[in-house]
Chains A and B, each alone.
Chain A
Amino acid sequence: MSDPGEAEGKEVCVVDDDLSVLKSMAYLLASEGFKVRTFSKAEDFLAHASTHHVPVVVTDIWMDHVTGLELLARLCAISPHTKVIVITAREDLAARATAMAIGPVAFFMKPFDDEKFIAAVRDALAEH
């Protein structure tokens, strides 16, 4: 599913416990030439992030076992430079406020505008 595109070899990580959503996210990013690494479990991603440089992660905020908010908090400790883009399937102002306080660069409601999402990913990578 890798597609060498415009990206400068920089990898985008995607975390979502919904496999079909995870897969579709990977296709969408790949179609714009991003290199994508997918994780269905937050723990697996955190393990990856502790050993690899992760410039950007796209994560669902509600997942089983470890919530997206928890992931954000732990990622801050492991990899403070990683840019975080949050996607969520539901409107929840409290969750959004918490997430923003921790520091994601973008926040999207599912289903989201693909153009804005791609732009957000590009911007995040560009900041590195």
Chain B
Amino acid sequence: MNNPTAREQDHNRSEEQLDLLQTITMEVAAAGDLPSALEVVLREVCVKTGWVLGHAWVPNPDAGVLDLVAAWYCGDGELKPFRAVSDASQFKPAVGLPGRVWESKQPAWVEDVTNDPNFPRSAAARTAGLKTGVGIPILSRGKVIAVLEFFMRESRIQNEQLVKVIAAVAAQLGLVMERKRAAEELARTNEILQSILSNMGDAVIVADKGGNFLVFNPAAERMFGKGAMQMPSTEWSHRYGLYLPDKVTPFPHDQLPMTRSIRGEEVDNVEMFVRHEKAPHGLWTEITGRPLRSASGDVLGGVIVCRDITQIKEEEFLRVGQSRVLEMIAADAPLVDVLTSLVLLMEGQAEGLRCSILLLNRDGKHVRHGAAPNLPEAYVKAVNGAAIGPRNGSCGTAMYTRRPVVVTDVMTDPLWTDYRGLAKICGLRACWSTPILAAQGDVLGSFAMYREENRGPQPEENRLTQIATHIAGIAIERQRQQEILREREARISLAAESADLAFWILYPEQNAAWMSEKGRLIYGFDSNLPLTCDLILSRVHPDERAAVKAAYDRACALSGTFESEHRLLLPYGKTRWVIMRGRCLKDEEGNLLETIGVTLDVSAQKQADLQLQHQREEMAHRNRVSLMGEMTASFAHELNQPLTAIANNASAARRFLEHGNIDPVLLQQLLQDMVADSQRAGEVIRGIRSLVRKEPSVHTLLDLNSVITDTVRLVSSDVLNRESVITTELDPQLPQVNAALVQIQQVLLNLIINALDAVEGLPPSERRIIISTRSDKGDVAEVCVRDFGTGLPKDRPDKIFDHFFSTKQKGMGMGLTIVRSIVEAHGGTIVAENAPDHGARIIVRLPAVRAQTQTTAVA
């Protein structure tokens, strides 16, 4: 049976529900965010469907629980405590009514919440008089974004219809929320993208298929100029300055990275030079481009990213420029060219910059023009040759003080007083100069930067100055060193040509040789005669050739040096004395490469040496002759003795014969004695002759003790004549010496005569001379002649060895000079000193001949 009231009720309810859906859909769409939308839903559902209380729970993703975000109550004060409990509650999945719905993603109906085992708020619900509860999930993309909860006071079984309506409302809410969130997300993404595009340093440009720009970020505007975006890309190249890397050829439109990207090409790292109003010096960019494609792969447009590489490029140009200048230095390019290149390189690094390099003269006081390609000639001329000083412009002052000088206004700076007028004409307003220093710190010159505005240098300009002064220093120092080298070479070759010096190189492997022109003159070779080692050796005097060859071979074997003094025998019999010095050079493997050396013509020197030696011998001879004069009494005595004996014996023989009683044996004895005495007289004559004779002295082993004894005997008559006494104290251990007998006698005679002269003025009893010998460690044989006379000059006892020094009336003053030269020629020394008490002591030391050590031959 139909119940019209019930049907009517149903109908009414349906209408209510439709109305509800409509209201909620409209209000939710108008709500700004989820909590306010939820509030609308709670209110509308409660009001329209008879629930007293509605809660909205939202997952808190951090804590993994549901939090209460919205609630609606019909104006009943009794519900307040329950609300407070709910506010303080959080539900984990499956806990309580909200948790149950959250986990199951399904609506849940509870007839009596006060008796439900899974309803933690049951006590509060009882107090509030709540019975039925329903929970509905709000799903978005399969996720629970909120749980709605409604309560009523009556206990009611599940009303499917009601649940469906609320679920539909919830679904609607989910859709609305989803759409809202998508829109928000898009907006946020756009915002981020805009922010990135605005803030990124790289230019980003997007164009559609027709070449119309869609995106042109601020960096792109900066790079390509304002208004570029309004320009169709087809007109870019000629309306805006886009150039190939040669900086002059316009970039072909069909090759532009954007054009290529729109064509569907992938473009990587294309370099482009850009110049426009806002970037009059131009800039460098490196461009990467990609086509924009739809999901189906059709090309919709293109996107390019342009990176500003101006600074990198400039660094590179500067570096390349520096390398070029350094290469010029290494290739020994003229200094002017090197410095000019350097100045131009520096000027190229900054707009409006002019530079100059001045050189400091070697006098260290005046400057010289170095390089200033862009300064007026009048200015360059005025500066050339100027003096440096504490107030001499920027450069002169920098060189003088060895410090950088910054003049920001040449019109007012006191340093520029002398150059102000000129600077004004030339349009120079600021000048910063830095001294160029050598590695050792010497000032070589200065590097200056000029500007037409009043300012000081910027960090970049200081960096350029640093580079410029460094390179200029290298260039100038190198050039100076080469100048010095050239001068030295010139001096050496001048010296070599003016001296009688031959340069030669021998290549023993090829038996080839080279010799300087002077060398060919010395050796007597024609200029065009091909030389060989053998040919050069053939010029060595035959007597010395083998020795020279041996010395040369020895040096080659040891790869050392050799030196030889020998004669050359030239064609037509002319001889030369030369000194030959050479050094053998080997390669890494030790093979003899060549021998280089010099030969010095010492003929003239040799001649002088021989003359000097001759003079010395002559002097020594004269000294000996004069000694003879000093010793006449001794010689007379020495000769008279044998002569007396001969005369006596002859007389005796004659008398025996006259008396007629001659015994033949006696006669024979007398004759024999006469022969012996004649020989003795002959010995004396020979001794005298040997002292007087001019003959080369022969060195023999001598026992100085016996030479002294003989010499003292030789002069004994004169010693007695002078009422003087010579005593000898001879060391029996005295080693032998290798010396010329006559010369040693000459030394002793000179010293004895000298000593006799020294004691002459004393009373006879004090006229004593002591001759002693001793051995000094067996290395030296020492002879000391000591007198007790007046002694030697106090200031310089050895003055007595000087030429022509004499304290005596007679004599030439040559004796002791000759004595010294003889002693030194024997490798000995002679010392004159005053004896401790009085008198003088002359000590001669001659190198001893060591006793031959026993050498046992080992078989």
Q: Which B residues lie within 8 Å of A27 (CB)? A: 648-649, 652-653, 666, 670, 673
Contact B646–A24 (Cβ < 8 Å): yes
Binary per-residue interface labels of chain B (115-127) against chain A in the complex, 1 for a CB within 8 Å, 0 otherwise: 0000000000000
Measured CA separation A90–B722 after assembly (Å): 13
- Residues in chain B near residue A92, CB distance under 8 A: 633, 721
Interface string of B71-100 (1 = CB under 8 A from A): 000000000000000000000000000000
Type the 1/0 row for A59-88, where 1 means its CB is closer than 8 Å to any CB of B.
000100001000000000000000000010
Which of B640, B642, B648 has most A Cβ within 10 Å?
B648
Q: Which residues of A contact B670 (CB under 8 A)?
A: 27
B676 to chain A, nearest CB (A): 7
Query: Using Cβ atoms and an 8 Å threshold, which residues of chain A touch B263?
Result: none
Given contacts A20-B645, A23-B673, contact A28 B640 (CB under 8 A): no
* 0/1 string, B632-660, CB within 8 A of A gives 1: 01001100111111111101111110010
Interface size on B, residues (CB 8 A): 30
Inter-chain CA distance A119–B215, complex, in Å, is 164
**Cα(A25)–Cα(B653), bound, Å:** 12
Residue B644 contacts which of A30, A67, A110 (CB distance < 8 angstroms)? A110
**Interface check B622, CB cutoff 8 A:** no
Answer whether residue A111 sits at the interface, using C-beta atoms and an 8 A cutoff.
yes
B782, CB-defined interface residue at 8 Å: no
Q: How far is the CB of A12 from chain B (nearest CB, A)?
A: 14
Given contacts A18-B641, A20-B641, A27-B670, contact A62 B652 (CB under 8 A): no
Provide the bound-state CA to CA distance between A33 and B660, in Å.
12
Query: Are A20 and B673 neighbours in the complex by a CB distance under 8 Å?
Result: yes
Contact B655 A32 (CB under 8 A): yes
> CB-nearest residue of chain B relative to A115?
B651
Q: Are B680 and A31 in contact (CB under 8 A)?
A: no
Given contacts A18-B641, A21-B641, contact A31 B653 (CB under 8 A): yes
Q: Is the CB of B677 within 8 A of A20?
A: yes
Across the interface, which residues of A come within 8 angstroms of B659, CB to CB?
5, 31, 33
Complex interface: chain B residues within 8 A of A91 (CB): 636
Q: Is B720 an interface residue (CB 8 A)?
A: yes
Q: With the chains together, A27 CA to B648 CA distance in Å?
A: 7
Give residues of chain A (86-125) contacting chain B, Cβ–Cβ below 8 Å.
87, 89-92, 109-112, 114
Looking at the complex, which one of A25, A30, A62 makes contact with B717 (CB distance below 8 Å)? A62
Taking a contact as CB atoms under 8 Å apart, the answer to whether A28 and B636 are in contact is no
Partner pick for A90 among B643, B647, B648, B717, CB 8 A cutoff: B717
Question: Which residue of chain B has the shortest Cβ distance to A3 in the bound complex?
Answer: B661
- CB contacts under 8 Å to B, within A21-60, are 21, 23-25, 27-28, 30-33
Nearest CB in chain A: distance from B375 CB, A: 105
Q: Mark contacts of B790-819 with chain A using CB atoms, 8 A cut-off: 1 yes-contact digit, 0 otherwise.
A: 000000000000000000000000000000
Task: Give the tally of cross-chain contacts (CB within 8 A).
Answer: 86
Across-interface contacts of B676 in A (CB, < 8 A): 20
Question: What is the bound-complex CA distance between A94 and B523, given in angstroms?
Answer: 71
- In this complex, the member of A18, A24, A110 whose beta carbon has the largest number of chain B beta carbons within 10 angstroms is A24
Are B640's CB and A23's CB within 8 A? no
Alpha-carbon separation in the docked complex, A87 to B680 (Å): 20
* Min distance, Cβ B537 to any Cβ of chain A, angstroms: 63
Contact of A31 among B637, B643, B655, B673 (CB under 8 A): B655
Report the minimum CB–CB distance from B115 to chain A (whole Å).
170
User: Chain B residues with Cβ under 8 A from A23's Cβ?
Assistant: 645, 673
Chain A residue with the shortest CB-CB distance to B677: A20
List of A residues within 8 angstroms of B647 by Cβ: 24, 111-112, 114
Give every chain A residue within 8 A of B642 (Cβ-Cβ). Answer: 20
* In the bound complex, CA of A66 to CA of B643 (Å): 23
B652 contact from A21, A24, A90, Cβ within 8 A: A24
Given A31-B655, A31-B656, A90-B717, residue A111 in contact with residue B649 (CB < 8 A)? no
With contacts A20-B677, A27-B670, A92-B721 known, is A110 near B640, CB below 8 A? yes
Closest to A92 in B: B721
Residue of A nearest to B632 (CB): A90
Which B residue sits closest to A25, measured CB to CB?
Answer: B648
Check A24/B649 contact, CB under 8 A, given A31-B659, A112-B644: yes
Closest residue to B648 on the A side, CB-wise? A24
A30 pairs with B652, CB closer than 8 A:
yes
> A111: which B residues are within 8 A, CB to CB?
640, 643-644, 646-648
Smallest Cβ distance from A107 to chain B, in angstroms? 14
- Report the minimum CB–CB distance from B661 to chain A (whole Å): 8
* A62 with B640, Cβ < 8 A, contacts A20-B680, A27-B652, A114-B647 known: no
- A28 engages B721 (CB within 8 Å): no
* A90→B717 CA distance, assembly (Å): 8
Which chain B positions have C-beta within 8 A of A20?
A: 641-642, 645, 673, 676-677, 680
- Given A31-B651, A89-B717, A92-B721, A24-B656 contact (CB < 8 Å): no
Please report the C-alpha to C-alpha distance between residue A31 and residue B652 in the assembled complex, in whole angstroms.
5
Interfacial chain A residues near B636, Cβ < 8 Å: 89-91
CA distance A18 to B659 in the complex (A): 28
Contact with A along B655-696 (1 / 0, CB 8 A): 110010100001000100100110010000000000000000
A65 to B720, CA, bound (A): 11
Shortest CB distance A1–B (Å):
8
CB distance from B37 to the nearest CB of A (A): 160
B-side contacts of A32, CB under 8 Å:
655
CA distance A30 to B659 in the complex (A): 11
Name the residue of chain B whose CB is nearest to the CB of A23.
Answer: B673
* Bound CA span A5–B636, Å: 34
B:242-282 near A, CB below 8 Å: none
CB-contact partner of B655 in A28, A90, A109, under 8 A: A28
Q: Which of A5, A30, A90 contacts B640 (CB 8 A)?
A: A90
Complex Cα distance A67/B673, Å? 26
Chain B residue numbers with a CB within 8 Å of A62 are 637, 717, 720
In contact, A28 and B652 (Cβ under 8 angstroms): yes
- What's the Cα separation between A111 and B641 when bound, in Å? 8
A16 vs chain B, min Cβ distance (A)? 9
Subset of 11 A-B contacts with CB under 8 Å = A24-B644, A24-B645, A31-B651, A31-B652, A89-B637, A89-B644, A90-B636, A90-B640, A110-B640, A111-B640, A111-B646
Q: A28-B655, A31-B651 are in contact. List 6 more A-B contacts (CB 8 A).
A: A21-B644, A62-B717, A89-B644, A90-B717, A110-B644, A112-B644
Residues on B facing A (Cβ under 8 Å): 633, 636-637, 640-649, 651-656, 659, 661, 666, 670, 673, 676-677, 680, 717, 720-721
Q: Which 4 A-B residue pairings sit nearest by Cβ, starting from the closest?
A: A24-B648, A31-B655, A27-B652, A114-B651
